[in-house]
């Protein structure tokens, strides 16, 4: 029985460059949620995609001597392949150039036009193509020559001509409604620092938003005024609706089941679009609003925001080659606190890999099956009546009993490092339990045979449970550990809470020793600067 739907999105990424560590970060986070909530009994929708329209993409295409459409088509494999490499289980991949998405955009804005939320007016203002954002003159900075530059990326801004008429969305009408909404929905913007930033921005007053362009045709045409295409953000945000079947007759009922969503995961750079413009658009359309926009921090390398343009050239595939996909995912999720900026480095990645994976989780997975093949011929031991009490009462069972509650609270809150720490605690405790019980000593004493069976059983059972809770971070490793324990396909688990109850590992299951899961790494042997 499904607990219901659980739906969320990553941003729909610009296609002017291949996915890098920053875009992969948001996507891996969303995938961790997807995998966990499936194991937790929810019917998950996970929408990602490519943001293909707008001036920036058109300019990039031109630089490459391609039409915008050709350029976008050529970029699709770069995205899909990276997400496959990282084991991303999205449920829809929306390309904003798809006809189904044009239908969404046209339907949505025609509805707002019919409802009187749009008006046409001459436009004068400043635009940054790189950020695809309009700025008030008072927000601009000046470069050394006194030219106006973008306050975000510091590139020159363009003056949009006064002769051109554009369609405007009456965003200013929503100032009070938005403030009331933030008030009534304290979880709408997280973490709280971003919430404060948005509240004070909206209190400062909202201007109407130009949502169309006519000097330029790389976009979705607006049906009520030919020759106008939707502004790239007035197009891209709606991909969240397309991705769950809005207005799509081939997916009957799906949109109503999945909207509103639980989360939009975005970087802090785009929270104004998601926390001001987007909810106002939804209010105007009479649609409910997503429960939470979570604006995570930036990945920093050498103290600076990591980005393709400033790039150090390290791509996800480079790190996967060294660490493997599971350790890649684990590092970013466990070591960078979601919501905060986080420094990343090879040095730190190696430290986390060696400490948490090679020395703790990997070590447990090689020691225990190794001992078990010596003492019980590689089969999960049957625990005799005389020591059954040691299976019900032991420190590992006790810790495992509280694990679901702790981990689930973290995951629901998207505190990935907290969730990772909760499962690591059990792996640590199991290693310590080996040191305390000393099975290698017991094995020498025939009188301790029954006790040894209980101890080995407890250790194997702890491994099973750690594998379950590591699976959202490290799907391949957990699947392999499950296999080694003679268990079925871990991706079929849909009630992780029930699966946590102690004592479910069947006696008699074959336990395979297998190769070491993680070989210790030496930083000095890694030739990659990050
Ligand atoms: N196309 C828009 C989003 C439209 S959503 C309706 C866009 N695309 S983007 O390709 O520029 O992606 C921006 C997102 O990439 C950020 O919000 C964030 O999720 C991720 N990141 C890019 N650089 C990043 C870091 N250095 N660190 C962490 N995440 C970053 O904006």
HEC assignment per residue over 305-325 = ECCCCCCCCCCHHHHHHHHCH
User: Ligand 1 within 6 A of 11 CB?
Assistant: yes
Residue 98, pLDDT score? 98
For the stretch 68-109, pLDDT in tens is: 999 999 999 999 999 999 999 999 999 999 999 999 999 999
Residue 124, pLDDT score? 80
| Number of CB atoms found within 10 A of residue 124's CB | 12
Residue 309, pLDDT score? 60
Nearest in space to 14 (alpha carbons), one of 110, 119, 97:
97
Nearest in space to 504 (alpha carbons), one of 465, 455, 454:
465
User: Ligand 1 within 6 A of 131 CB?
Assistant: no
User: If you search the block for the tokens 């030496």, which residue do you land on?
Assistant: 522
Beta bridge partner(s), residue 212: 230
Residue 297, pLDDT score? 97
- Three-class DSSP category at 189: strand
* Contacts of residue 184, Cβ cutoff 8 Å, sequence gap at least 6: none
Q: In this structure, are residues 445 and 456 in contact, taking their beta carbons and an 8 Å threshold?
A: no
For the CA of 268, the nearest atom of ligand 1: 17
Residue 134, pLDDT score? 86
Element (H, E) at 169: strand 165-169
Residues in the chain where the model's pLDDT stays below 50: none
Residue 164, pLDDT score? 77
Residue 530, pLDDT score? 83
Residue 71: burial class (beta carbons within 10 Å; 0-12, 13-18, 19+): buried
For the stretch 312-359, pLDDT in tens is: 678 999 999 999 999 999 999 999 999 999 999 999 999 999 999 999
User: Ligand 1 within 6 A of 112 CB?
Assistant: no
Backbone phi and psi for residue 453, each to the nearest 5 degrees, phi listed first? -60, -40
Q: How far is the CA of 11 from the centre of ligand 1 (A)?
A: 6
Residue 311, pLDDT score? 54
User: Ligand 1 within 6 A of 344 CB?
Assistant: no
User: Ligand 1 within 6 A of 305 CB?
Assistant: yes
Residue 162, pLDDT score? 60
* Helix count and strand count (H, E) for the chain: 23, 19
Backbone phi and psi for residue 329, each to the nearest 5 degrees, phi listed first? -60, -45
Residue 215, pLDDT score? 84
Residue 159, pLDDT score? 86
* Alpha-helix runs per DSSP H in 381-515: 388-392, 395-401, 403-412, 416-437, 439-442, 449-470, 475-484, 496-499
Nearest in space to 167 (alpha carbons), one of 215, 84, 230, 89:
230
* Contacts of residue 114, Cβ cutoff 8 Å, sequence gap at least 6: none
- Three-class DSSP category at 209: strand
**Atom 22 of ligand 1, residue of closest alpha carbon:** 22
- Three-class DSSP category at 142: strand
Nearest in space to 474 (alpha carbons), one of 289, 290, 320, 252:
320
Residue 61, pLDDT score? 95
- DSSP result, 339-386: TS-EE--HHHHHHHIIIIIIIIIIHHHHHHHHHHHHHHTTBPPPPPGG
User: If you search the block for the tokens 């020559």, which residue do you land on?
Assistant: 145
User: Ligand 1 within 6 A of 275 CB?
Assistant: no
* pTM of the predicted structure, to 2 decimals: 0.96
Q: In this structure, are residues 368 and 481 in contact, taking their beta carbons and an 8 Å threshold?
A: no
């Amino acid at each position: 029985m499904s607990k219901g739907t659980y739906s969320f999105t990553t941003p729909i990424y610009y296609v002017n460059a291949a996915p890098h560590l920053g875009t992969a970060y948001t996507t891996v986070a969303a995938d961790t949620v997807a995998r966990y909530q499936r194991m937790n009994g929810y019917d998950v929708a996970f929408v990602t995609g490519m943001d293909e329209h707008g001036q920036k993409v058109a300019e990039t295409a031109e630089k490459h001597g391609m039409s915008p459409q050709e350029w976008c088509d050529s970029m699709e494999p770069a995205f899909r392949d990276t997400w496959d490499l990282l084991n991303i289980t999205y449920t829809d991949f929306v390309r904003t150039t798809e006809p189904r998405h044009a239908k969404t955009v046209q339907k949505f804005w025609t509805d707002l036009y019919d409802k009187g939320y749009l008006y046409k007016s001459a436009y004068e203002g400043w635009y940054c193509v790189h950020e695809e954002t309009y700025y008030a003159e008072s927000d601009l900075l000046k470069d050394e020559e006194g030219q106006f530059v973008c306050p975000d990326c510091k590139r020159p801004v363009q003056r949009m001509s006064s002769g051109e008429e554009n369609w405007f969305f009456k965003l200013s009408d929503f100032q009070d409604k938005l403030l009331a909404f933030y008030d009534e929905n304290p979880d709408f913007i997280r973490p709280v620092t971003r919430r404060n930033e948005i509240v004070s921005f909206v209190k400062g007053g909202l201007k109407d938003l130009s949502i169309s362009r006519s000097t330029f045709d790389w976009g979705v045409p607006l049906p009520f005024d030919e020759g106008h295409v939707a502004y790239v953000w007035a197009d891209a945000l709606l991909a969240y609706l397309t991705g769950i079947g809005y207005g799509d007759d081939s997916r009957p009922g799906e949109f109503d089941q999945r909207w509103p969503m639980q989360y939009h995961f975005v970087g802090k750079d785009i929270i104004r679009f998601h926390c001001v413009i987007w909810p106002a658009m939804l209010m105007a359309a009479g649609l409910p609003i997503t429960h939470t926009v979570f604006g995570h921090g930036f990945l920093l390398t050498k103290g600076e925001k990591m980005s393709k343009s400033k790039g150090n050239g390290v791509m996800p595939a480079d790190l996967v080659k060294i660490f493997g996909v599971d350790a890649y995912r684990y590092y970013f999720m466990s070591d960078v606190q979601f919501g905060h900026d986080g420094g990343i480095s090879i040095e730190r990645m190696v430290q986390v890999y060696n400490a948490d994976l090679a020395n703790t989780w990997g070590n447990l997975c090689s020691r225990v099956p190794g001992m078990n093949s010596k003492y019980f011929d590689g089969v999960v031991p049957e625990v005799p009546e005389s020591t059954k009490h040691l299976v019900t009462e032991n420190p590992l069972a006790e810790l495992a009993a509280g694990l679901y509650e702790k981990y689930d609270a973290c995951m629901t809150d998207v505190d990935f490092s907290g969730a990772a720490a909760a499962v690591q605690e059990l792996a640590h405790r199991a290693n310590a339990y080996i040191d305390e019980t000393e099975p290698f000593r017991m094995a020498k004493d025939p009188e301790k045979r029954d006790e040894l069976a209980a101890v080995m059983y407890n250790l194997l059972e702890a491994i099973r449970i750690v594998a379950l809770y590591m699976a959202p971070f490290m799907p391949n490793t957990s699947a392999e550990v499950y296999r080694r324990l003679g268990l079925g396909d871990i991706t079929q688990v849909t009630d992780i809470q029930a699966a946590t109850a102690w004592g479910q590992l069947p006696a008699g299951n074959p336990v395979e020793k297998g190769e070491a899961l993680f070989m210790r790494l030496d930083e000095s042997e890694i030739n990659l600067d990050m």
